[in-house]
Structure 1
Amino acid sequence: MAYNEGSFKAKLTSLNESQDSIVTVAQWIMFHRRHAALTAQLWSASLQESPSANRKLNLLYLANEVVQQSRARGKMDFKTAFEPLIADATASAYKGANPDVQGKIRRVVEVWRQRNIFDTTIQQGVEKKLDELDKAKGSSRLGGGGGRLGGSLFGGGSGGVAPELEAINKTQAALTKAETASKSPVTAAIAKYTETIDPAAVVPSAPVRAAKLRGLVKDLMGAQNAVDASMNSRRQLLEGLEKLLAANRYQLAREEATSRDLGTKIDSMEAIIRDVEDSIMRGVEPLPVNGNGDGVEPERPETEGFTPPPPEIES
């Protein structure tokens, strides 16, 4: 297929998330290396115009494959063509994507950094744009963007929580929230209490003092409620951890029993193998492993004789 804008867009239409698809399209693009500059421009426009976050991710994977493979072959045409566009394109793919897609984009960018795929200034520009997007939406790299994590570029590996840990993760998040919420009222209540019982403090009139004491008690109770909420969340977390620990201990005991049983079977089979090998060396037929293993040959079944009975004589 000759290279032109139409054929390039047709190739992009056939692109999907599988590694085979990405590699196939990348090979076609690299074959038309003399059109590297146009390829980069058309690729960038296609990514910017796409409404799908997954589609943008696939296009980013494609650029990654083209640049890395051509660079490995000593051809810098695509690296040079993509460098002026890669930061804006990556930011476009990252912006508005869900945490799973953002985590995958972060891993691609991390691979670029580790392998020095792009010049340092280009790499820094890419990371700066992603950091600014995270900051704008109030998320951290670890929370919203997936952070600099390892993993396959084409596989799942989204950095998500294992199903067995989802409840633990939610409880931990609730605990962190409750613990944070309790710090301010506790600090304020203790400071107010310390100020109230200070011997050097001026004692107001009885009505004023009573009102202040009632206010202090109210603050102390509010702080206590906040601490109780944190305690309840921590108890729930410990309960979930203990259940998870108990379940894994139970499974470990079962696996240990299974391992011992398999070990016994292995030892038994190895003993039989040694007997068979010894019998081969001695030229003696080995005993059977299964069936009738007492060494006594079973009785032969009754069979019909070969001589037919004499015919009946008519009287």
Structure 2
Amino acid sequence: MSFSQEQLTSKLNALDETQESIVSASKWLLSQYKEANQVAQCWRQFILRPSTNTRRKLLAIYLANDVIQQSKHKRVGEFGRAFGAIMPEVLGKVYPEFTQELQKKVKRVVDIWRERQVFSESVFKDLYPQLKQSKRAAEPRALPLDIAPEIKRLVEVFAKLSKFQVSTSAAKTRFDTSLEALDPNSVVYQENYKTVQKVGQAAKDSLDKSVSYRKQAIKELKMMLNFQEEQMRQDQDLVSEIDQVLTSKDPTTTTHDPLGETDLLPTYEASDGSDSDSDKSMSDDEKPPTKRQSPSADSNDSKRAKIETASIDDIKTEAYETEAYEPTPAEVAANSSLAVTSSIQDLLSKLAN
């Protein structure tokens, strides 16, 4: 079987703290002894990658420890030489990143290598000084205190998801391994199948948990996306509002109004003067009548005196011109007697002549 860098990376990501997981990956690597240098370089790239957390780096060191010791026991010297060439450099870079507890575990592994002489003495001379570069572990970076609550929730979800991703990969690897070992021709096939079922159920439970965390992460991301879109629309509205205000106040595009207002009264076209002349030449008969107040009872005597000196035609004209005035019954009777008296006087004048 040819060596695959992707397959090694997958096995490194699937490692957990159990001996079974370490031994299973170690057996596969030992079968790649002809590509020992390539295996060591791939292992180096994985452990020095910034995205690899300290826990996974420690598990990678445990895997290298098992491969190195098993290869020495089986007299396969290729892995000892390949890992011995890169180990001082790798531990010199990752050791300061570990906590004090993890540093103690790494130091114990190196001491075992020294006791069993898995590397040459020259390798240990370069290796031990790298373990003294950091007397205390670098503390993990804490989240800023002023971080948004939704970011905190999202970080917590992704932390759980990352943790379950490791256990899920390990559970799937165990299931694949147990499935490969299942022999239908074995006399204990039924019992072995039940064991595979239990391993498969454990892998399913881990996957279901991972799915639930992924759904929660998607929900949090959607809420953040909707919130940011709403905030973006509000910001765009404010930008438009500022532009409108600046445009309305721009002295190069607006006319100065000393009163601060725009005259909204309607304007009319100028007349040619003909209407005014016609109004001046309008006869009194064409002008609208003016309303008069009804005379009071006290003024009836004075009106009778005026009526006696006026002609019948003048009385009629005055009556027509007074639109809102209506004579009283007494005035009507007086007007009738005056007309009769005037007719008699005219007749007597004609007879006298």
TM over 0.5: no
The structure whose Rg is larger is 2
TM-score range, shorter chain: 0.3 to 0.5
| TM-score normalised by length of structure 2 | 0.37
| TM-score normalised by length of structure 1 | 0.41
